[in-house]
Amino acid sequence: MATLLLVAGVVSLVVGAEGFVRGASRLATGLGISPLVVGLTVVALGTSAPEGAVSVGASLKGQPEMALGNVVGSNIFNVLLTLGLTALLTPLAVSSRLVRLDVPLGIGAAVGVLLLAMDGTIGQGDGLVLIGGLAAYTILLLYEVRAGPDADTEERPGTETSEAPRWIRNGGLILGGLVLLVLGAQWIVTGAVDLAQRLGVSELVIGLTIVAGGTSLPELATSVLAGLQGRREMAVGNVLGSNLLNLLAVLGLSALVAPDGVPAASSVLWFDLPVMIATAVACLPIFFTGQVVARWEGALFLGYYGAYVGYLFLAATQHDALPAFGTAMWGVVLPLTALTLLGASVREWWSERR
């Protein structure tokens, strides 16, 4: 049964991602909106639905401590694993708009969440602040769509927007694809947990790997498929838009519905949140260098995700190798990576000046 659930989940993810990306792409073409903006909005909103369901549901059930960990873990997963794997499979084009606007906004939102959580709780007032940030970002996106050069596309005769059947078909593809993405993620998590338990894998390892990444599988499937199909700006926009929605919408709503707010454990406050901010900051120099995420940069992200999961496992089990592992990461690997990215950024800046 576990194997059948895994197979059904994979098939559901693939078919759902295909329908979701196809419907969103046709919607963008019909409305004259760039695939990047659609990735930042429609696609990101759809793929963030599992995080929203888990986090808000946990707050309503009196388990708000799960909300912050789910959001932070999903954002780290999205950047390091989803973006890394997609870039490893196919180099990703990056719009100058992302470098100029969306990446700085993502960094600002991540830092803002850390500041709001410094007192140990993200309260209902903090939730209102996050929802206010979401409203401001939505207004900004709507303004850009209306002011865009193709904003009048929907009024041109013969386009998709003038034909109701195509609207219905594209809407059906988006909705049906989203349903399959959510179901596929649930089936994979259920099947994988059951199979791991049968094989004697500990609950700790299951929680750190399978369950933590389960709600981010829709982003992974959608971005990978969009990248392979040549819709590379949509693949990047999905990751950045989903991360921003997780912080502003999912965490904001979770804080609003939790009577005592969302507690921020010290481990999340002093390790996971800084790691999430670091991954957001790392996007800036990587996106800046040639406005493309190269395969080696994707491999770098994947390596860091493996190191992050490894550190969580060692810390949770209090393994003897933890001090040496931490020293190697903070003292050698991270400084060398920072110097490499800084050098690449300087070379790119110098070539543009010349």
DSSP string, 311-324: HHHHHHHT-TTHHH
Separation CA 47–CA 238 (nearest Å): 8
Q: What is the pLDDT of residue 335?
A: 72
CB 272 within 8 A of CB 76: yes
Q: What is the pLDDT of residue 155?
A: 38
Separation CA 180–CA 76 (nearest Å): 24
Separation CA 49–CA 212 (nearest Å): 15
Q: What is the pLDDT of residue 154?
A: 38
**Domain ranges for the chain:** 2-319
**Does the domain spanning 2-319 belong to CATH 3.40.190.10?**
no
Kindly give the parts of the chain with pLDDT less than 50.
149-162, 204
Structure tokens at 234: 């949509």
> CA nearest 89: which of 233, 299, 254?
299
Q: What is the pLDDT of residue 344?
A: 63
Separation CA 84–CA 72 (nearest Å): 17
Tokens 């559901």 belong to 12
Tens-place pLDDT, residues 3-21: 787 677 767 766 776 777 6
Separation CA 41–CA 28 (nearest Å): 11
Any bridge partners for residue 122, and if so which? 262
Question: At 122, which helix (H) or strand (E)?
Answer: strand 121-122
Q: Is-above-0.85 flag for pTM?
A: no
Q: What is the pLDDT of residue 127?
A: 92
CB 244 within 8 A of CB 45: no
